[in-house]
Chain A
Amino acid sequence: MSHRSDPVLEPDPVLDAPFGAEPEPDALIQAAMRWHFSPETGSPFWLRTAETFDFDPRRDVRTFADLARFPNVVPNGVGWLSVAPSGPHVFGEFVGRQARQRGSARFTVDLDPRWVRKVLADGRPEEAERYAEHVIDQAGRILETQDIGVLVTTPPLLERLARRDDLVKLVNEHVRVITWGGAHMDADTRSILRDEVFPEIQIYGVYGSTMVLGAAHERLGLTADDPCVFDPYSPYISFEVVDPQTRRPVGYGERGQVIMHHISRNALLPNNLERDLATRIEPPPGQMGDSVADVGPVAVFDDEPLIEGVY
């Protein structure tokens, strides 16, 4: 275990261990405690949360077993409601596993996004509208009759739910965590949801792809003014943000297209160019590849100058 003269300002090399040279577990845990709970380097979320602990993580959390002292960020024992695609879609499957792991009752409302795309392609937006409202109606009945503490859904459905004053009220009364994924959420929508619609609820995004068999979770402790940063489950899943033409990395803070890799014993799925744009973000110590923020679709350029007519 290495010691440095100023361990809190420089990330411990243990946290930056290269791929293939994974640190000894207790060393990792102790270095992580120093990093996340030092005022200089800890995130606002953990520093704030630590004030409620009856232990000092830097002093008292030294081994794998000590991790049990932490309260769960995601609550146990409350109902989970997943309003998301199931079946072949990876998103719903992950949710189910998470809920089972936490011993929670899981309620589901299924959704077939391929049907929605089909009716939209057929030029029948009213039908897509009816279908989406039908999904929200079902979610509403579960929210009315069950104690739902965790809501998992997609951004378009969350926005649709946010239009119903009665459901917003129910969610604000019962739900403690909202997890969204499966589609993009722009920064303004995220901030309105956090600050105005669900001000007391923790809202986390998940950014993943079936192509890499997994997802990245939104970094904990971000404020509404921070970009929505996703850290992948490194080293097994890793991201790069590149210029789509040259495939060279863009600079930190710049926009580029996302490339994903999955490297594990189960599978090798390298170099998947996603159809997403994101801001390249400096990774946390020890992570392979980039973190990403403000993931969005490849820009749609519209409002092209209309030639005919004066308008």
Chain B
Amino acid sequence: MADLIDLDALGPAGPYRARNRETIPDVTGRPVAELSLVPSLFVRRGMAALHRADTLPADRRAAALAHAGQIFATGIIDGMSRDEYEHTVTRVCGLPISVVRAATDAVALAAQEAYASADAARPAAAVDDWHDPLTRQGRALWTRRGNVFAVHAAGNHPAVHSLWLEALALGYRVAVRPSRREPFTPHRLILALREAGFPDDSVLLLPTDHRVADEIIDGAELAMAYGGDDVVARYGRDPRVLTQGPGRTKILLDDPDWRSHLDVVVDSVSHEGGAACVNTTAVFGAGDPAPVAAALAERLAAIPTLPPEDEKAVLPVRGAAAAHAVERYLLDHAGDARMLLGDGSAALRPAVLQLDRSDAPQAGIELPFPCVWVAPWSREDGVGPVRGSLVLTAITADDALLDELVAEPTISNVYIGDHPTYWIRPGIPHDRYLGEFLMRTKGMIRD
């Protein structure tokens, strides 16, 4: 097929077209692109080149990142306009076109703000340059914990590539292993970064099969790996690897007038196609969950089934076999939950499932479409049911409860009031600041 898009690996000496290529299909199974998969030797040499490379000075990194964001959002990269890129991503990963478009702007904004956003993690007492006159009196210096950072990226949403830009801002050289579900975004972004001034040997795209994947992490000093509970279990004990596991994002709805917050709940479940880690997976409501579940089901049922490239599309689309696999998984794990919605067509229609107790384990099942568990909650349950949340939106007037929620270590972000769980801004941590992982302080005094 002559019209397939060639997605080359981006090595330290430029683009590399491997003989070993994987066909990337769209949601109907039609081949769209060929992704070059590099062998171990290429990975090893690439990682070695990253270690040998120089880091650009801070001001040039900041300028190049901002410029790259602009190129990413507006440029023709590798012959592809923004529109063509977004259409391709939509057709391949099935996310609604409106979500993909918003993600392009989010990545561009993240690039522009990466330097400031990364710097937000710097302790107030620390300077970021040892030449700072303050070090003459004795001071904390904020420095990197290493020089080479590896990313096992996710393919659920293009905006996941916003985060590692902060590592570049902090002066790391970076290798990204793209997801084979959506390699277009990191490919475009890294080409934009190179065009904006990052040398080829400072940021790499290394698509590999699973057998070689670990060598990217082994070749770096620090790494970030996206994935499910299996990835968290695999790398969670390695202090060099920051895992980005399931979000298990929740809403605590502790207001007798819950109907007035329904918009925020529906939005939190279905925005971003329901495919992001910041989409709400479970809603805990004070009182009887039945009316909440029924109202949610009614609202979500009204979302139309459309092809993902339709302007009005809201739901994610998958190949029929993959969609049925997701449906089967949900039905197998629903247990005694009452299913109010869900028909498992190729568009992943919303699912609302009502649970009869606050500690039902199903509430932790996170699926890549608008799928929400509705469970009862009472003040006596306290924080327990909402532990382990990337984001918790708490709708309550109970100050003592809010104190507990804010203090709870397993909840990463607490949003109080009518704020959807997917709210996110450069400079506000997503799951801690990445800088907390990538940087350390050193004591310093000099003459």
Contact = CB atoms under 8 A, between A and B. Distances in A.
Given A309-B246, A310-B277, A311-B228, 4 more contacts: A163-B44, A188-B42, A308-B229, A310-B275
B18 A310 contact: no
A307 B209 contact: no
Contacts of A300: 209-211
B246 A302 contact: no
B326 A163 contact: no
A238 to B, nearest CB: 27
B366 interface: yes
Which of the listed residues B41, B48, B180, B231 has the most CB atoms from chain A within 10 Å of its own CB?
Answer: B41
A303 interface: yes
Contacts of B18: 188
Which of the listed residues B18, B19, B155, B366 has the most CB atoms from chain A within 10 Å of its own CB?
Answer: B19
Contacts of B322: 305
A163 B46 CA distance: 11
B245 interface: yes
Interface stretch (A45-53, A69-77, A115-123, A189-197): A189-197
A189 B41 CA distance: 6
B48 A163 contact: yes
A282 interface: no
Interface string A176-190: 000000000011110
Consensus secondary structure, chain B interface: loop
Interface in B8-57: 18-20, 38-42, 44-45, 48
Given A307-B329, A309-B246, A192 B41 contact: yes
B326 A189 contact: no
Give the interface size bracket for A toward B. Answer: 20 to 34
Contacts of B228: 306, 308-309, 311
Interface string A143-179: 0000000000000000100110000000000000000
A306 B227 contact: yes
B154 interface: yes
Interface residues of B, number: 42
A308 B329 contact: yes
B226 interface: yes
Contact of A310 (B156, B210, B230): B156
B420 interface: no
B39 A309 contact: no
B290 interface: no
Nearest to B364: A308
B247 interface: yes
Given A300-B211, A305-B322, A305-B325, A310 B246 contact: yes
Contacts of A188: 18-20, 38-39, 41-42
Interface of A: 159, 162-163, 186-189, 191-193, 196-197, 300, 302-303, 305-311
Given A163-B48, A305-B322, A308-B365, A186 B329 contact: no
A159 B42 CA distance: 10
A302 B210 contact: yes
Interface string B365-385: 111100000000000000000
A307 B325 contact: yes
Which of the listed residues A196, A300, A310 has the most CB atoms from chain B within 10 Å of its own CB?
Answer: A310
Contact of B209 (A159, A303, A308, A311): A303
Given A187-B20, A306-B228, A311 B210 contact: no
Contacts of B325: 305, 307
B393 interface: no
B19 A311 contact: no
Contacts of B368: 309-310
A111 B229 CA distance: 38
Given A187-B20, A308-B246, A193 B41 contact: yes
B112 interface: no
